[in-house]
Amino acid sequence: MSELHDECGVFGIFKSDKSTDIVEETYLALYALQHRGQIGAGIAVNDGGNIKYYKGFGMIPEALPEKELLRLGNGKMALGHVKYSSGEAVDHENLAPLVMRYMKGQLALCMNGALTNYHMLRDELNQGAAIFQSNGDTEIIAYLIARARIDTGSIEDAVDKAVGKLRGAYALVIMSPEKMIGVRDKMGIRPLCIGKLGESYVIASESCVFDSLGGDFIRDVEPGEMVVIDENGLHSYKNRCGGETHLCLFEYVYFSRPDTVLDGVSVAKARQRAGRLLARQHPVDADFVCGVPDCGIESAIGYSIESDIRYATGLIKNMYIGRAFNNRKRNSEYLMRIKLNALKHNVDGKRVIVIDDSILKGRTSKHIVDLLRKAGAKEVHMRIASPMFRNPCYLTSDTTPKEDLIASDMSAEEICRYIGADTLGFLSVESLPEIAKECRLGFCDACFTGNYPLDVSDTSRTDKYSQKIQIDPEV
């Protein structure tokens, strides 16, 4: 149960089949992506160039009430987005899709990721008297596209020109009056894939969406690729492909759903492998192995298979958390009490190995060890299915500062004492790429190694732009 918050999730559908209800399909797709963001969600529908949208705070049923969805009608295309808070302040203007009017009509955009040259681009646009409604990356991209459209002949040329100015990690889905466009960053840090639902093309952050909709996975968008979907089908532009690739390894550890296949590797399989490697690297005698729901479960199964120690449930997750989980007025201890319980019947009097995906601040791990001890565990051995998380990630929605990362200044032994476990073991950094060894891409592992694949010196969001916007998740 990582303390790093989820990514955002993006989705787009271009209807080729009259019977498809695109609002319903987008709503279902966002449910499948809910794990990537619970702060808010939005849907935009394009009916002949007229874009209607609705976005709201909370989990899907709360954020997108039925009566508002009915108002969206039906159309040719739709975009959907689930949001976790980026470095941006959380107000309604920062929810997506972002819908704007410009010289060529309406445009809708949504994004997963973070720009590493946000300040530079925003300063540049401010010099040109740009007026911003939000402090998000998406609005910067919208401005760049609108400006590029002045002297380019098509929306795809304008998007390509705008993307040439971006640095960072991003997966974009854009809807113009007649086309849907998907773009993946040059290094492939953030995932994006293409599927089909009958004759209709769909684009999504994760392949699990296509299974949820009853559709088919076609392929991943290549790093640097732009795909354009229109009445004539799907067109691929690879001007920006080539060069080093760095898919986020934390997608396999935590961000993605286990039933997703990411650039050729099943997330569930990667997590099971991490568990097997952990069992070899940090063996210990115990009565059973359990996983911290959700992301520790597959790794616990892997650990159990490799060690031949039986797997059993040790922790139960409350599935009905809803918006309380996202209410920042509550402290994290309070939220953890809502979220997890130990299964006393299994745990009492036992030596327990508990597997989690990662440790960031350490408070969740401390709480878990405490829960297991209170439920009667004789010994608690914590194993972490990733290496020590020592460096902030500037390429996702959540940049936990270095001073808050427990591994930035504590050894594994010190962390073990802090969380109160009998023993603690992390997956080694060297073995981490092994978990997804069939992947076609190279990896980013900067949160574990400090080796960022690109310059991140322009990334802090505690800046002059975000301070002007009131943070109020209750709006």
* Pair 196, 219: CB distance under 8 Å: no
Residue type at 350 in one-letter notation:
K
CA dihedral 117, 122, 128, 134 (to 10 degrees): 150
Pick 51 or 456: Cβ nearer ligand SF4: 456
Burial call 402-436: b when 16+ CB within 10 Å, e when fewer? eeebbbbebebeebbebbbbbbbbbbeeeebeebb
Per annotation, catalytic residue among 8, 110, 193, 447: 8
Residues contacting ligand SF4: total by CB under 6 A: 11
In the list 212, 245, 365, 396, the residue contacting ligand SF4 (rule: CB under 6 A) is 396
Of 57-65, 206-214, 243-251, 294-302, the segment contacting ligand SF4 by CB under 6 A is: 243-251
> Do 178 and 49 meet the contact criterion of CB atoms below 8 Å apart?
yes
DSSP-derived letter for residue 311 is B
Q: Which stretch binds ligand SF4 (CB under 6 A): 114-122, 267-275, 438-446, 454-462?
A: 438-446
> Taking CB under 6 A as the rule, does residue 96 contact ligand SF4?
no
Say if residue 294 is preceded by a cis peptide, omega within 30 of 0. yes
Token pair for 88: 């941006």
d(CA 173, CA 211): 20
Q: Which is nearer to ligand SF4, 202 or 249 (CB)?
A: 249
Residue with Cβ nearer ligand SF4 (53 or 254): 254
Nearer to ligand SF4 among residue 230 and residue 251 (C-beta): 251
Task: Report the C-alpha gap between 176 and 160 in whole angstroms.
Answer: 14
Using rule CB under 6 A, residue 359 touches ligand SF4: no
Q: Specify the stretch interacting with ligand SF4 by CB under 6 A; choose among 80-88, 219-227, 311-319, 445-453.
A: 445-453
CB 139 within 8 A of CB 172: no
User: Please, which of residues 175-194 interact with ligand SF4 by CB under 6 A?
Assistant: 189
Cα torsion angle, 171, 175, 180, 181, sign: negative
SS (H, E, C) 388-445: CCCCCCCCCCCCCCHHHCHHHCCCHHHHHHHHCCCEEEECCCCCHHHHHCCCCCCEEC
Question: Binder to ligand SF4 among 90, 221, 444, 469 (CB under 6 A)?
Answer: 444
Residue in 393, 424, 427, 454 binding ligand SF4, rule: CB under 6 A = 393
Instruction: Name which of 424 and 456 has its Cβ closer to ligand SF4.
Output: 456
Work out the widest C-alpha separation in the chain, in whole angstroms.
Answer: 72
Select the residue interacting with ligand SF4 from 45, 226, 229, 395 (CB under 6 A).
395
Q: At its nearest, how many Å lie between ligand SF4 and the CB of residue 445?
A: 5
Known active-site residue 393: no
Stretch binding ligand SF4 (CB under 6 A), from 132-140, 152-160, 363-371, 443-451: 443-451
Single out the residue of 58, 441, 445, 461 in contact with ligand SF4 (rule: CB under 6 A): 445
Residue 446 touching ligand SF4 (CB under 6 A): yes
Q: Least distance (Å) from ligand SF4 to the CB of residue 13?
A: 27
**In this structure, are residues 57 and 82 in contact, taking their beta carbons and an 8 Å threshold?**
no
For ligand SF4, the closer CB: 139 or 398: 398
Q: Does 447 interact with ligand SF4 (rule: CB under 6 A)?
A: yes
Tell me whether residue 307 or residue 386 sits nearer to ligand SF4 (CB atom).
386
Of the listed pieces 232-240, 330-338, 440-448, 454-462, which binds ligand SF4 according to CB under 6 A?
440-448
Is the distance from CB of 440 to CB of 264 less than 8 angstroms?
A: yes
- The closest of 187, 178, 126, 121 to 154, measured between CA atoms, is 178
Told to check if 250 binds ligand SF4 by CB under 6 A, we report yes
Minimum distance of ligand SF4 from residue 294's CB (angstroms) = 18
- What is the Rg, in whole angstroms, of the alpha carbon atoms belonging to the chain? 22
Choices 320-328, 353-361, 444-452, 461-469 (CB under 6 A): range interacting with ligand SF4 = 444-452
Catalytic positions: 8
Q: Which positions touch ligand SF4 (CB under 6 A)?
A: 189, 248-250, 393, 395-396, 444-447
